[in-house]
Every structure is written in C-alpha cells, then in structure tokens.
Amino acid sequence: MTDAARKPDAIPKPPLDARLTEQRNPRSMRIDQLSTLEIVDLINAEDRLVAAAVSDEREAIARAIDLVVDCLRQGGRLLYVGAGTSGRLGVLDASEMPPTYRTDPDMVQGVMAGGFEALLRAQEGAEDHPEDGAAAMDGRSVGPQDFVLGIAASGTTPYVHGALKRARELGARTGFLLCTYPTEDLLRTHDVVIAPLVGPEVITGSTRMKAGTATKMVLNTISTSSMVKLGKVYGNLMVDLQVTCQKLQDRGERILMDTLAVPREEAERLLDAAGGHVKTAIVMGRLGLDAAAARRRLQEKGGAIAALVGKPK
C-alpha cells in the first residue's frame, strides 16, 4: 500500500446526501471562473445527458401511459402532484391539454403545493406538509378510476408522499417520477416508478435545470401518447383541437386542406359548419355527412377517427 493510499483523505467518502439531485457535479465546480461562452457550453453539455436518461426509462414511461389510458377510458382522471418546479411543470402540462386535444379541463389536472399563488411566487415551505397533499386528494374526490403521478426530483417531498399515500387509500393507481435512485419502498408501493438519472446539476441542487428538463420530457411523452391512444390524433395531425383563436383557425383549415384535398374556402366552410371542431369537419368532408351525423358516428367509434374514415392519405 502506498503512502497516499494510507492517508485518510485518499479514502472515498460517502456523499453527505445520498440523493443524486443534491450531489456536487465535478464538471462544474469552477463554473464561477469560466467565461460566458464556456458557461453556455458547460450547461449545454450537461443538458445533452437528459434525453439519454429519459430513454433509459422508456419501459416505465410506457407502463405509465397504459395506466393513464386505462383510467381515462373508464372516465377517470390523470392528476399530477408536485411542489416547486415539479409542481409547476405538472400544472403546465395539464393546462395545455384542453386547447391542444379538446379535453375536459378536469381530465388532466395539476395539483401543486401552495396552490395558485405558488405558481407565481415560490412558497418552498408548502412542500413540507404531507397532510396538505392528502387533503388535496380528498378535495378532488380521488378514486379507483384515477391515476395520480407524484413528481419530486429528489424523491422526498412530503407533500407529494402525503398525496400519494391518501390516493392509494382511496383506491387510485399511483406513480412516482423522480431524478434520483428510487428506494425499494418506493418501488413496492407504486404501480410505476420513473427515475431518469440525469446526474448532479450544474448548480448543486438546482433541479429546475436537468431534472426539470427531464420532467418536462417525461410529462410530454405521457400526455401526448395518452391522447394519441385515445384517438385524438389522426396520423400526426392535431385533429381534436377546438378553434379558439386565429392561429388555430389557420391550423384547422390547413389540416382539412391536407386530409381532404380541398381548397381553403371549402376547409373554412366545413370548419365553420362543424363548430370549429376539426375532427368533426374531417368526417363531414370524407363521408358527406352533416355535423350532427358526423358527431354521432364519431361517438359510436369512441372518437377514433381512423376507425371511421380510414388511415390518413
């Protein structure tokens, strides 16, 4: 054994905190001495690790999607529960479902520690109360048809654990999304655990960075895939959108021009007759039906447009 090996500081020490999200990143320890361009390059290099970490969790993500779709088909809901950045990302994903896929606002919900005010101004202490998370589940009448996904980069947020514990007591299926090593207890407790290991943050503990990016990617994949499997996408077109502004009016008309091979004037007429609902307008144009008949046929097929009019050309 060498003299260096005998020295106490040569013996690897366990991290002060076992959570991966709280460990120091050896590649960024001198970030405060770098040039602006070097800081940009360092952050970008770390961000490149995120997609691979999310890909490693592909099977767990697919399992979560199947659970979500099963619940939604039974009339249940998808609820995201989180605090801080994790909570805000859940609220963001949920809020984008109605305009994008014409879902009922209650179908996908974001539940955040501290409520609405915490969206605009950090209320870090709000995450420390598991009883508040439990109360949020009671307040939303969570039940067996619902899927509740807890989001906590560190895996330890009391509010999230309190919500999930109560959700399971109420019969809901549950999942956990975190960016550190999941415990055996976590794996045993929930129906699915998604743990993209993005590594320590550039700024120690700043989980709005890589962990936040990974969370956004996972939530995008879960919600988008669920909507696809529920028949709200035709080919890769956003056909279940409801026209509510000029941008969506233009997009809806272009979708009809593409799928029905009609000029813009006819696309505009069909969209207006369909009450601004693109999917209904496609069925009207393809099958020669009025709006009421098109809606009825879609309902008979559970909203799956391809089963009604065939694959997109």
Cα–Cα distances in angstroms (integers) from residue 155 to residues 22, 27, 87, 214, in the given order: 11, 24, 13, 14
The closest of 225, 160, 226 to 193, measured between CA atoms, is 160
Q: Which residues contact 272 (CB under 8 A, 6 or more apart)?
A: none
Cα–Cα distances in angstroms (integers) from residue 287 to residues 148, 204, 261, 278, 280, in the given order: 39, 58, 14, 14, 11
Catalytic residue among 96, 117, 184, 265: 96
Catalytic residue among 22, 46, 57, 127: 127
Other CB atoms within a 10 A radius of the CB of residue 96 amount to: 16
Q: Could you identify the residue written with the tokens 């998370």? A: 133
User: Any catalytic annotation for residue 127?
Assistant: yes
Coil/strand/helix, residue 196:
coil
For 208, list phi and psi in degrees, rounded to 5.
Answer: -75, -10
Residue 42: exposed, middle, or buried by beta-carbon count in 10 A (0-12, 13-18, 19+)? middle
User: Any catalytic annotation for residue 57?
Assistant: no
Q: Is residue 88 within 8 Å of 166, Cβ to Cβ?
A: no
User: Known catalytic residues?
Assistant: 96, 127
